[in-house]
Amino acid sequence: VVDTIDVDKEQIFNRMLKVYVKTNQSVEDKIWKAIYKSFVLRNAE
C-alpha cells in the first residue's frame, strides 16, 4: 500500500534535490549514493 503523503513528500524532495544539484553539482554523487543505500536497505527488510 502506497501512502499518498509519502508520495507527496517524495515529489517535494525530488524537486528540492533537482534545484540543489543544479546549484551544487559536486554533491550529486553523494546524494545518489545515499538514496541508493537507503533504497536498498528499505527493500532488504
**pLDDT tens digit at each of 45 positions of the chain:** 566 667 788 888 888 878 876 766 677 778 888 888 888 888 776
Q: 3-state class of 37 per DSSP?
A: helix
Q: What is the pTM of this model?
A: 0.35
Q: What local confidence, expressed as pLDDT, does residue 45 receive?
A: 63
Buried b (16+ CB within 10 A) or exposed e, 4-29: eeeeeeeeeeeeeeeeeeeeeeeeee
Q: Residue 41's pLDDT is what?
A: 84
Quote the pLDDT of residue 3: 66
